[in-house]
Structure 1
Amino acid sequence: MKILVRNLERSITQAELLELFEQYGQVDSCVIVMDQATGKSKGFGFVEMPHARDAIKAIKGLNTLKLKGVGIRVKAAEE
């Protein structure tokens, strides 16, 4: 299941995001979208989890979590 993570503080790394989601189960991929011109984070990313059950737990558990002082928004990504 593909998950959209929005409102990420710009200094958060892919490794930090991966670690956060791995608390809920196996993660197939984790990507923070970067601005090609500046090389800096655009403040959102995607996480893919193979088991919907784990993905739903992660969405419920992490939505509105304050990460580095900013409340992140987590939801199922629309294909």
Structure 2
Amino acid sequence: MKILIRNLTRNTTEAELKALFETYGTVQSCTLVLDKDTGISKGFGFVEMPKIGEAKAAMKNLNGKELGSSKIRVKKAEQKPADSKSDAASEDD
């Protein structure tokens, strides 16, 4: 299951994010979305967890958790339409 993590501080690393989610199970991949020009985090990223039960536990327990100096928001990533050219995460909740 692909999980969207928002409201990350700009200095959160992929390693920190992966370690946080690994407490709930196997992490298949972990990716921060970076600005193309600056290489700085845009404040959100994705984690993929192959086991649905582990992914759901991670989402339930980590949503609203403090990471760094902000409370992260965690939810299932929506599938983007195949013809969409926008980012995988829409910024409107």
Give the TM bin, normalised by the shorter chain: over 0.9
1:69, CA displacement in angstroms?
1.6
- Tell me the residue number matched to 1:11: 11
Larger radius of gyration: 2
2:23 partner amino acid: Q
Give the TM-score taking structure 2 as reference length.
0.84
Q: Does 1:38 align with 2:46?
A: no
Structure 2: tracts of 5 or more residues without a match? 80-93
CA distance in 2 between partners of 1:7 and 1:68 (Å): 10
- Tell me the residue number matched to 2:91: none
1:19, CA displacement in angstroms?
0.2
SS of the aligned residue for 1:64 comes to coil
Structure 1: tracts of 5 or more residues without a match? none
Superposition CA RMSD, Å: 0.4
Greater per-residue strand proportion? 1
Runs of 4+ in 1 over 2 A off after TM superposition: none
Identical aligned residues as a percent: 58
Give the TM-score taking structure 1 as reference length.
0.99
Structure number with higher relative contact order (C-alpha < 8 Å, ≥ 6 residues apart): 1
